[in-house]
Amino acid sequence: MYEVIVAEDEVWIRQALVEMIQRTSSYQVIAEAVNGEQAWELLQQHTPAILITDIMMPVQDGLWLMEKVQGLPYPVETIVISGYDNFRYAQSAIRFGIREYLLKPVKETELLTALDHAVERLEAHTGWRKQWQEIQAFLDTLSSSSRSASSQELHRLLRSILYDDAWTTTERRNVLRLFSGRFNRLISEHDREFSPLPLVDSTDLEQMVKHFKTLLETMVSARFYATGYRS
């Protein structure tokens, strides 16, 4: 199941897009936004495979959002929808690497074709997606896993990221930065006194283990695990 975020300020269009996507068995809308700024916040909270965005939106528009997406530490395919058959908009979308540009009103067949094309391009990042799913599963099960089991799984994940020849140095740094950020956020959500721990810019296993084990120990000792975490 590929996760999708939809950014569209017109309610009826956004609802129509969501309904078309939800009727499929391969895609799931995990969040909706009414402007580019809100969509950007959601993209930092989630790791969708696909972003569908309008161009003309309040606060921050789709062009601003597409530029921001270029700096995300994870791969995401963007599908642009617009009510304007405007060469300048299309040219800007191409500049940001956008391959799918749909005109309103969006037909269901056109949307599904664009989604399928996006997935075909995402196949080049299947290794990243698989790795992130394992990281997310680790974070999701921390409260029910023993300390020793969590420590072993953490070490396995770090070795997989740092020593897999399929990863480039940039990809390693990006996924470690994202992993650390989500780990820090998970603790911060439940402990307001927690100060996020910055990630050292390194691909050395020993330093990475130290950083993430510090986060793990912080989580174990946090108030919200005082009664529920097994040692």
The predicted-structure confidence for 141-169, as pLDDT tens digits, reads as follows 887 888 888 899 999 999 888 887 777 77
Can you give the pTM of this predicted structure?
0.75
Query: Which residue would you say has higher pLDDT here, 1 or 5?
Result: 5
Same domain, yes or no: 18 and 114: yes
Instruction: Give yes or no: residues 121 and 182 share one domain.
Output: no
| Residue at a domain's end among 59, 90, 125 | 125
Q: Does a structural domain hold residue 130?
A: no
Give the pLDDT mean for 102-114.
93
Has residue 131 been placed in a domain? no
CATH number of the domain bearing residue 38: 3.40.50.2300
Q: Are 59 and 53 in contact (CB under 8 A)?
A: no
* Complete DSSP assignment for the chain: -EEEEEE-SSHHHHHHHHHHHHTSSSEEEEEEESSHHHHHHHHHH---SEEEEESS-SSS-HHHHHHHHTT-SS--EEEEEES---HHHHHHHHHTT--EEEESSPPHHHHHHHHHHHHHHHGGGHHHHHHHHHHHHHHHTGGGS-HHHHHHHHHHHHHHHHH-TTS-HHHHHHHHHHHHHHHHHHHHHH-TT--PPPPPS---HHHHHHHHHHHHHHHHHSGGGTTT---
Query: Are residues 83 and 190 located together in one domain of the fold?
Result: no
In which band, very low, low, confident or very high, does the pLDDT at 35 lie, cut at 50, 70 and 90? very high
Whether 134 is in a domain gets the answer no
> Which of the listed residues 125, 153, 174 is the one where a domain comes to its end?
125
Task: Tell me how many domains the chain contains.
Answer: 2
Domain assignment present for 8: yes
Highest mean pLDDT among 26-30, 91-95, 119-123, 221-225: 26-30
Q: Supply the range of the domain harboring residue 172.
A: 141-225
pLDDT at residue 231 greater than cutoff 50: no
Do residues 9 and 57 share a domain?
yes
